[in-house]
Amino acid sequence: MLFKNQDWTCNLKLKPPQGRAVLIEGLPGIASTARIAVDYLINQLNAKEVATFTSQAMPNTVYVDSEGHLEEPSIKLYYAKLSKPKQKTKQEQKTKQANKRFQHVYLLTGDTQPITEVSCHAFCDLVCKVAKHLNVKEIITLGGIGLNTMPSKPKVYAASVDDFKESFKQQGVKTNMYGKVGPIVGVAGLLPIKAFKHGIKSACLLGETYNHPLFLGVKTSIKLLTILIKRYALPINIKSLQRESKNMEKEFQAIIQEPVEQEREESLKQATYIG
């Protein structure tokens, strides 16, 4: 089925399944926290690609794969059916959400974000239109809050148009985002507003991370994943990502330390003794 507006086209290759669905967005952003989280969900849930969003508003950039082939940047939607647990989880019992459990999850990710303000608005409108067609009841966007230092225990904040953000307190999310972050640029901030206008509950989850061009915020991605696992009873294991996070932090420390050591060695070579 084809969905279109003035800037974007979505080719949906899935008949809407019966049952409630949640859509989780994770496009590139600060420290790639959102994309890492959603890519991990796609892998762990064995999610299948069901739609592609295309537009001439995409960047005029192409990628070269491992075999030397050229690829356009893309934004894709993936789908996975959530298995029904044999018994109610403690979280469901606590929040009384057992009768409102989600049967399906859609995962939105890609190589880029819309590059202009107009195309971003058009993209978010089209995502909401597709989401309504797929019986999506909640849309969650993910992103990072860039800090000048690396947080040892990243905090996650929720924001929404209405009081929907308050429901995330049960997963340990803070809702006092005012003063912690400036304007939210891109899909992570705009999509929840568009979703609200389309009658879909939505919130933006932003996790603290280190704002460095070479840094990958895997630890923050794990924090975001932990919240999503608890809220939506996602059957995934994050142990492998936790191990990877520790290794990547060590590698990053080595990368940023190398220029400092080189500068120190150069200064020692140039130093002369007078006395």
The whole-number pLDDT of residue 272 equals 46
pLDDT digits (tens, 9 = 90+) for 37-90: 999 999 999 999 999 999 998 889 899 989 999 999 999 999 999 977 655 555
Strands (E), the chain: 2-4, 9-12, 21-25, 48-54, 63-64, 70-71, 75-81, 104-110, 136-147, 156-159, 201-210
pLDDT digits (tens, 9 = 90+) for 137-173: 999 999 999 999 988 899 999 999 999 999 999 999 9
Amino acid at 106: Y
DSSP reduced 3-state for 116: coil
DSSP reduced 3-state for 4: strand
Q: Please state, in angstroms and rounded to a whole number, the distance separating the CA atoms of residues 66 and 146.
A: 31
Q: Which CATH class is domain 2-240?
A: alpha beta
Structure-model confidence comparison of residues 178 and 103, the more confident one: 103
pLDDT(97) > 60: no
Structure-model confidence comparison of residues 142 and 214, the more confident one: 142
Q: Please state, in angstroms and rounded to a whole number, the distance separating the CA atoms of residues 161 and 169.
A: 16
End-to-end CA distance of the chain: 83
Q: What is the pTM of this model?
A: 0.86
pLDDT(251) > 70: no
Pairing of the two strands 201-210 and 63-64: unpaired
Q: Please state, in angstroms and rounded to a whole number, the distance separating the CA atoms of residues 49 and 196.
A: 26
Q: Answer whether 19's CB lies under 8 Å from 81's CB.
A: no
The whole-number pLDDT of residue 213 equals 85
pLDDT digits (tens, 9 = 90+) for 219-232: 999 999 999 999 99
Give the Å distances, CA to CA, from 102 to 22, 81, 226.
7, 9, 17
* Burial bucket for residue 8 (CB in 10 Å: 0-12, 13-18, 19+): buried
Q: Answer whether 142's CB lies under 8 Å from 33's CB.
A: yes
The whole-number pLDDT of residue 248 equals 65
Confidence of residue 242 (pLDDT cuts 50, 70, 90): confident
Confidence of residue 5 (pLDDT cuts 50, 70, 90): very high
The whole-number pLDDT of residue 29 equals 93
DSSP string, 242-256: HHHHHHHHHHHHHHH
Percentage of the chain modeled with pLDDT above 90: 68
The whole-number pLDDT of residue 100 equals 63
pLDDT(256) > 50: yes
